[in-house]
Amino acid sequence: MPYPFTLRPLPYSYEALCPEISDTTLHFHHDKHLQTYVDNLNKALADCAPCQRMTLEELLQNLDALPADKRIPVRNNGGGVYNHYLYFDCMAPRSCSRPSGALARAIDTAFGSYEDWKTRMKAAAVGQFGSGYAWLVCDSSRCVSVVQTANQDCPLSKGQYPLLCVDVWEHAYYLDYQNRRADYVDAWFSLINWPFVESRYDGCCK
């Protein structure tokens, strides 16, 4: 994804994730919140030709190499774009599927079982203080782990490859769940697009 960045449509209809996530939430989340990150990222890069030649992933992987006045805007708004696209792409109409293949084996190795991974992922999502995300990431050895990030920080900036994320900013769930973040996370598990996540794992570190 190169500059200028654009708002990509959702990979499903606004009603597709009901009742776990309402069409009202998706309209606000995608059309308003994500659009704002896209616009602000483009504004931040408008006077930086070297930045414009980098992909979104390259920008986030090389924050320290950017001009000093671009690091925070890219961290916040570039992260806002990347993190949201991954969040939306990692969901699909209710599938109740589970991971399979190499990713399932990596999850079993790291956490003991899929259920143990869910426990860790939920604890990370519910326990993230304030706004942020919980992630399943993999490292250069293809080992997977669960991490938290605050605000719009992205694991790419720490050398980790994101496989899956859940957005725990209140805008992601407050209209549907009010203060019940744990209920939102429980519902989110049933929306995970495991074939997509598996394809990211299969492609990472190659």
Cα–Cα distance for residue pair 12/3, rounded to 1 Å: 24
| Residue whose structure tokens are 């694991």 | 155
- Does a cis peptide bond (omega within 30 degrees of 0) precede residue 19? yes
**Of 126, 180, 172, 178, residue with least CA distance to 148:** 126
Give 65 or 182: the residue with its C-beta nearer to Fe ion. Answer: 182
Which amino acid, one-letter code, is at 29?
H
Phi, psi of 148 (to 5 degrees): -110, 150
Give 20 or 167: the residue with its C-beta nearer to Fe ion. Answer: 167
CB-facing half-sphere around the CA of 139: CA atoms within 13 A: 8
Cα–Cα distance for residue pair 107/96, rounded to 1 Å: 17
In the bound complex, what is the minimum distance in angstroms from residue 127's beta carbon to Fe ion? 18
In the bound complex, what is the minimum distance in angstroms from residue 172's beta carbon to Fe ion? 5
The residues facing 137 across adjacent strands are 145, 162
Give 31 or 186: the residue with its C-beta nearer to Fe ion. Answer: 31
Cα–Cα distance for residue pair 102/17, rounded to 1 Å: 27
Give 167 or 198: the residue with its C-beta nearer to Fe ion. Answer: 167
| Interface with Fe ion (CB under 5 A), residue from 135, 169, 184, 194 | 169
2-10, 66-74, 108-116, 160-168 -> range binding Fe ion (CB under 5 A): 160-168
Alpha-carbon Rg of the chain, whole angstroms? 17
Give 58 or 170: the residue with its C-beta nearer to Fe ion. Answer: 170
* Crossing angle of helices 114-127 and 101-111, rounded to 10°: 70
| Interface with Fe ion (CB under 5 A), residue from 20, 153, 167, 198 | 167
In the bound complex, what is the minimum distance in angstroms from residue 184's beta carbon to Fe ion? 12
104-112, 120-128, 151-159, 172-180 -> range binding Fe ion (CB under 5 A): 172-180
Give 35 or 52: the residue with its C-beta nearer to Fe ion. Answer: 35
Total chain residues near Fe ion (CB under 5 A): 3
Q: Is 89 in the site for Fe ion (CB under 5 A)?
A: no
Per CB under 5 A, residues contacting Fe ion are 167, 169, 172
